[in-house]
Structure 1
């Protein structure tokens, strides 16, 4: 039987907290009462919008083993014996995260990159979980509270830990990788994401390179050999405690190289060379970007001492999560249409990848490829140009109709033939009825845009109006 996640003595040793007599043990950790499970420790984090202290009573009523609260707020809950009182709740969570990292014998991998962090993390979780108890970040918990929370949730019995680390400003990765202290650190790629906050792409490469500063001595740096900023990232790795740099990609010098990538409508096949040895495997998702990121998973698995053959076999079970390529069938009249949900977020690289995936869908006679696109944010002064440049990808991938939402999308609309533009509105809500009215049986529809554009509303409405069932196949003639 596994031991509790946290005991009173462990929490006190990590934080110096005052602990109420009603607390015995914590079996989990949470910062959100909506997802809190009985036995969880509830951390009353003060966020940008809400103060977690406002939900302490709800957490305790829902079965939290205790609430971690600040000294300042503790008097408000004087009647409870299930309080863990600390000077600062977020700092206490960081301290417990560091303590969880110190007590584990797990092999740890950290993943960052402009594109593909979450998908790569999920592929890593799948590959490693076949070979030992694996703990990984949930959703996109990759920031200043998500990383310490994930650490604090890590059971001491963990064999492999997988952490996603994100940033949108320089020096944000440094403290996070310092907490995680990975044995392997991966950079998927460097692209103009959050470029609004950087003087150039060099700055983004440098910010991503910060992940290597936390590497355990002798650890492994895994870098995309195809990326134009490879040498910049490699310099950061060589300046760190890394004992080895492993490269992946299609470049002839890559240690783990894709010789051929075959993209099918609902899966991909990779013919690779792994440190000189051939390996062919299937991935349960479509897209060149998924195939290339799978190479980084193999690189990390190798560095962690996992079985590469088992890791490669696991990729066949990989399915895209909601908002990141999930495929469902819509029932329209007597037929069906394919909906590809890419609504979680968007940047120029991921937008091109989504359009390529839509272009790979096999259609029957008279069916159409429809792209429903929202603004890509945080691109600064390059935004208008980067939106206009999507026109080439739309044309080359055989997209028939484009629905666009947002002011920046005007630049794309102006670059496309008028016949290709079905509608352009200010918001995703304004597009909903127009999209629903146009979709016909046999069509394939991709929805994508930055999170703030709320493109998920289009997905939600299509599913509600036409029903939705998961699909492992694409439309065929």
Structure 2
């Protein structure tokens, strides 16, 4: 974080400053800001956030041991550290992030990109960060720091020399993206897609589209809206972007896209296409698996282009990315049994894309195995969407369908109803049962997809399989 005095921080967050012995209101802090005491480093600011299972106030002492010099708290704690007492530490870090970003923006050349969408946010964020880091100091979220806590913590990592801040905005209810994007008003707003992820929280697909459009509404006047023209609901955000005075750059595979892909080819070693942009035809060879990552790459190229990076340079840098993120289409295992661990999260769209990728990368002498768990937060559409994925798996000729957990049972029943019987589809109670079954079932030549929402916990099953068959 930039250097601020204790008094300045207290004023920004509207808190009651209680300096420790030897500190006074003018004392300067500039260390890392985090809710995890284990991540503290000398000079850090610890945010004592109450949680569902524990309370950050219990870990102020541990934060001190790791170097914290200031704690944001909701009630005073009996520890030898300067404290700022606020009614709500989550609101406080948002206020602090807004002020810090505004100061850096006013005094430097900071450019900000906001990314949202039902799928692909983290991959696109990583793609764009890789492109921009060769242009100057770039801050981007760790993992999926895209909520009311993670987004401000990412913003607070900037310094006076940061040139690019890449923000990822997730949401499970209306208004959340507006609040987060409103902290920074991005220069470039990237809209990836509108799908059924978190549809239960929004109440339906049209409500989801309106929530995603909050990013366009929060963009800085004179900025750029990067829109996926392959998605009608995203393309429909163009009038709003025009009202906001934004320049519109479309990406996708249709002829209207300014950054367009053609000739997509998916293999077990990567994904290739030709990128059409500015009258050029540029070959792109991603090491990341899956045709669905092409649009994520196009979005990153378009956003970087809006920031002055030549598409040819962006492509060279994208081709060095070996992994989108841990647990996202992550190749594991060995030469004989290949595991693709894509179980960090799942929606109907990402589940379908992963299954299609599995079918595309498996050779004629190899066998497809899909290990599937529940998709969460789908609300009243959950049953139908699990049915649809079960049907798709059979129609893609996935040869073994291993369904894990009670919440995914409808997926199994749909697969059986579509014709996946006689042991081709099995339903197992939990990850341990699935691991035991797969230990005896998998054989050389198998290509195995592990896919579920985070809550199903199958990412750890994917790790176990990857280690077992390495």
Distance 1:281 1:231 in 2: 24
Is it true that 1:270 corresponds to 2:273 in the alignment? yes
Q: Deviations over 1:76-110 (max 9, x none)?
A: 32x51433444432222112101221122311000
Cα distance, 1:181 vs structure 2: 1.1
Out of 291, 295, 300, which is 1:297 matched to?
A: 300
TM-score by length of 2: 0.91
Q: Deviations over 1:90-139 (max 9, x none)?
A: 22211210122112231100000001011111111111111111001111
Distance 1:414 1:58 in 2: 49
Task: Map 1:64-463; keep pairs closer than 5 Å.
Answer: 64-70=68-74, 73-74=75-76, 76-77=77-78, 80-104=80-104, 105-239=109-243, 241-318=244-321, 319-330=323-334, 336-363=336-363, 365=365, 367-416=366-415, 417-419=420-422, 421-463=424-466
Distance 1:348 1:420 in 2: 25
Cα distance, 1:422 vs structure 2: 4.1
Distance 2:186 2:89 in 1: 25
Q: Deviations over 1:379-434 (max 9, x none)?
A: 22222221222244324444210100233533332333213634202333332211
How many equivalent residue pairs?
455
Change in CA separation of 1:263 and 1:5 when aligned onto 2, cut-off 3 Å = farther
Are the counterparts in 1 of residues 33 and 47 from structure 2 also a CA contact under 8 Å?
yes
Change in CA separation of 1:84 and 1:382 when aligned onto 2, cut-off 3 Å = closer
Distance 2:423 2:172 in 1: 34
Cα distance, 1:449 vs structure 2: 0.6
Distance 2:387 2:207 in 1: 24
Q: Deviations over 1:132-156 (max 9, x none)?
A: 1100111111111111111112112
Is it true that 1:57 corresponds to 2:74 in the alignment? no
Residue matched to 1:33: 37
Residue matched to 1:473: none
Distance 1:381 1:436 in 2: 35
Are the counterparts in 1 of residues 126 and 324 from structure 2 also a CA contact under 8 Å?
no
Q: Deviations over 1:57-92 (max 9, x none)?
A: 11101221322223xx21x32x51433444432222
Are the counterparts in 2 of residues 298 and 311 from structure 1 also a CA contact under 8 Å?
yes
Q: Deviations over 1:162-186 (max 9, x none)?
A: 0000011111111111002100011
Change in CA separation of 1:141 and 1:35 when aligned onto 2, cut-off 3 Å = same
Are the counterparts in 2 of residues 215 and 242 from structure 1 also a CA contact under 8 Å?
no
Greater shift in the superposed pair: 432-441 or 170-179 = 432-441
Distance 2:64 2:286 in 1: 43
Residue matched to 1:475: none
Greater shift in the superposed pair: 91-100 or 247-256 = 91-100
Distance 1:235 1:260 in 2: 30
Greater shift in the superposed pair: 392-401 or 51-60 = 392-401
Cα distance, 1:303 vs structure 2: 1.1
Are the counterparts in 2 of residues 15 and 95 from structure 1 also a CA contact under 8 Å?
yes
Distance 2:212 2:236 in 1: 10
Distance 1:420 1:100 in 2: 58
Are the counterparts in 1 of residues 222 and 246 from structure 2 also a CA contact under 8 Å?
yes
Change in CA separation of 1:167 and 1:4 when aligned onto 2, cut-off 3 Å = closer
Change in CA separation of 1:444 and 1:220 when aligned onto 2, cut-off 3 Å = same
Are the counterparts in 2 of residues 256 and 274 from structure 1 also a CA contact under 8 Å?
yes
Distance 2:229 2:260 in 1: 9
User: Mind listing any 5+ residue stretches in structure 1 that lack a counterpart?
Assistant: 469-477
Cα distance, 1:300 vs structure 2: 0.7
Distance 2:118 2:394 in 1: 25
Are the counterparts in 2 of residues 37 and 63 from structure 1 also a CA contact under 8 Å?
yes
Distance 2:171 2:159 in 1: 26
Change in CA separation of 1:232 and 1:85 when aligned onto 2, cut-off 3 Å = same
Q: Deviations over 1:213-261 (max 9, x none)?
A: 211111111111011313432233233x242111110111111111221
Greater shift in the superposed pair: 275-284 or 435-444 = 275-284
TM-score by length of 1: 0.90
Cα distance, 1:8 vs structure 2: 3.7
Are the counterparts in 2 of residues 429 and 457 from structure 1 also a CA contact under 8 Å?
no
